[in-house]
Amino acid sequence: MESKNVSDAPKIDFKPLSQSQQYNLSLNQEKGLHAANFTTLSKISEEEKIEIIKLGFQLQNEGKISLKKYYEGTETDSLFQLKGYSIKYESIRRTKLYQQLKPSNN
**DSSP label at residue 11:** P
Q: Is the dihedral of CA 69, 73, 75, 76 positive or negative?
A: positive
pTM: 0.64
Residue 104: predicted pLDDT: 82
Instruction: Output the average pLDDT for the chain.
Output: 77
- Beta bridge pairs of residue 38: 86
CA–CA separation, 51 vs 59, rounded Å? 12
Residue 25: predicted pLDDT: 40
Q: Given pLDDT bands bounded at 50, 70 and 90, which one contains residue 12? A: low
Residue 10: predicted pLDDT: 58
Per-residue model confidence as pLDDT tens digits over 51-99? 999 999 999 999 999 999 999 999 999 999 998 889 999 999 999 999 9
CA–CA separation, 76 vs 33, rounded Å? 18
Residue 34: predicted pLDDT: 45
Residue 94: predicted pLDDT: 94
